[in-house]
């Protein structure tokens, strides 16, 4: 089968590799109908050291189950399923508490040495706990929005939950990538009264407004902090969704949180230490977050997608076949595309 392999920064290739197959009795094999490229894939795309072995990529997909191991009980051949970016057994103490990304039998797709979904097929560990059967067929027009349940919509929602977004609150979203845009959807959905998007790309800002952003702040650093304060009676916002991961973004996030506010961070941190520790301390700002347990949120978010209340699939502004995945990486990296969908 064909699959995406990254050998080093900027070096993404489509290659023939052995077919995905059931290895453990709890595995399934999923034939990929739709996958996509993630903003987090751009970190290795910019930084990975060259190597001869390469790594599989892709951690978001919808597909048809082709085979299951003999201990798989709830998922069947022929099911159309969405695959969250982390696999999980659904039964351990952490899964029981809705933190599937800490599953004791879990792991992540698209990491060094692991399975990747930007491919014709992918092996799914812990199939019963990981996969979520979708109530549609594979050509449904809702497919782009349903695909966001694998990561970006669930991740934006997680940022909003950790940032304690609630009715009538003032919210800021740092970052205008697909996750930030889904964060706007999530904040609106949870009843926020004011949603400030911090970003500077016109196409993304336009989409943020469509999704419910009320204010746009395109400044950076101190200037951004000042602008947000001006927009919020001088105090800052109750909730900040940090959807970037760079130190400057966290500094801004803490700087615009009002005393007693909360920052939900879902951008993968690119630094070892947490910036702005002192202002966070003196303002009693809660900073939390991490890899979103998107598997836990599908039950809640799916009905809103099915009913058309939210349309996170609008973040996809380009679709490529498997052969053009390398160009998809280039386009996202150059900010020519917000998010690229892959139809193998
Ligand atoms: Zn678990």
Quick: pLDDT tens for 152-201.
999 999 999 999 999 999 999 999 999 999 999 999 999 999 999 999 99
pLDDT over 90 (residue 267) = no
pLDDT tens digits, one per residue of 57-110: 999 999 999 999 999 999 999 999 999 999 999 999 999 999 999 999 999 999
CA of 98 to the centre of ligand 1 (A): 9
Residue 273 pLDDT: 92
For Cα atoms 125, 4, 13, give the angle at the middle one, nearest 5 degrees. Answer: 155
* Axis-axis angle for helices 152-162, 294-306 (nearest 10): 110
When the pLDDT of each residue in the chain is averaged and rounded to a whole number, the result is 96
CA of 302 to the centre of ligand 1 (A): 21
pLDDT, average across residues 252-265: 98
CA of 90 to the centre of ligand 1 (A): 5
Residue 139 pLDDT: 84
CA quadruple 109, 113, 116, 120: dihedral sign: negative
Residue 113 pLDDT: 82
pLDDT, average across residues 214-222: 97
* Axis-axis angle for helices 178-189, 202-211 (nearest 10): 20
Of the ranges 104-108, 138-142, 204-208, which one carries the lowest mean pLDDT score?
138-142
CA of 235 to the centre of ligand 1 (A): 40
Q: Ligand 1 (ion): which residues have CB within 5 A?
A: 88-89, 92, 95, 103
Residue located via tokens 């595995």? 27
Residue 138 pLDDT: 83
CA of 337 to the centre of ligand 1 (A): 35
CA of 109 to the centre of ligand 1 (A): 15
CA of 26 to the centre of ligand 1 (A): 13
Q: Which two tokens stand for residue 284?
A: 């009693």
CA of 339 to the centre of ligand 1 (A): 29
CB atoms within 10 A of CB 321: 11
- Distance between CA atoms of 329 and 285, rounded to whole angstroms? 36
- Distance between CA atoms of 271 and 256, rounded to whole angstroms? 20
Strand boundaries in the chain, DSSP class E:
2-8, 11-16, 28-36, 55-56, 61-68, 80-83, 86-87, 107-108, 121-124, 132-133, 170-174, 194-198, 215-217, 237-242, 257-265, 286-289, 316-320, 339-342
CA dihedral 221→224→228→233, nearest 10 degrees, is: 80
Q: Is 212 left (phi over 0), alpha (psi -120 to 50) or beta?
A: left
pLDDT over 90 (residue 270) = no
- Distance between CA atoms of 112 and 184, rounded to whole angstroms? 31
CA of 91 to the centre of ligand 1 (A): 5
């Amino acid at each position: 089968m064909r699959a995406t392999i990254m050998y080093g920064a900027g070096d993404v290739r489509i290659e023939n590799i052995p077919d995905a197959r059931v290895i453990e009795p709890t595995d399934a094999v999923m034939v990929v109908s739709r996958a996509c490229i993630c903003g987090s894939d751009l970190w290795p795309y910019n930084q990975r050291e060259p190597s001869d072995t390469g790594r599989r990529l892709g951690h978001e997909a919808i597909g048809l189950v082709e085979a299951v191991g003999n201990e798989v009980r709830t998922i069947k051949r022929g099911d159309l399923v969405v695959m969250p970016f982390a696999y999980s057994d659904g039964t351990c103490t952490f899964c029981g508490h809705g933190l599937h990304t800490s599953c004791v039998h879990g792991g992540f797709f698209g990491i060094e040495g692991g399975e990747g979904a930007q491919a014709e097929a992918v092996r799914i560990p812990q199939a019963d706990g990981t996969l979520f059967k979708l109530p549609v067929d594979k050509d449904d027009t809702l497919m782009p929005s349903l695909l966001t349940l694998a990561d970006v919509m669930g991740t934006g929602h997680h940022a909003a939950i950790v940032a304690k977004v609630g009715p009538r609150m003032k919210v800021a979203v740092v970052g205008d990538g697909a996750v930030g845009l889904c964060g706007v959807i999530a904040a609106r959905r949870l009843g926020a009264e004011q949603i400030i998007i911090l970003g500077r790309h016109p196409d993304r800002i336009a989409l943020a407004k469509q999704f419910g952003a009320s204010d746009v702040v395109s400044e950076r650093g101190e200037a951004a902090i000042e602008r947000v304060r001006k927009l919020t009676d001088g105090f800052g916002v109750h909730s900040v969704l940090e959807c970037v991961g760079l130190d400057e973004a966290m500094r801004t996030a803490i700087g615009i949180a009002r005393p007693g506010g909360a920052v939900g961070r879902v951008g993968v941190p690119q630094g070892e230490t947490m910036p702005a520790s002192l202002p966070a301390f003196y303002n009693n700002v809660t900073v939390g977050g991490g890899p979103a347990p998107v598997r836990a949120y599908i039950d809640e978010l799916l009905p809103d997608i099915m009913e058309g209340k939210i349309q996170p699939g609008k973040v996809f502004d380009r679709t490529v076949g498997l052969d053009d995945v390398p160009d998809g990486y280039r386009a996202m990296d150059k900010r020519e595309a917000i998010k690229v969908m892959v139809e193998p």
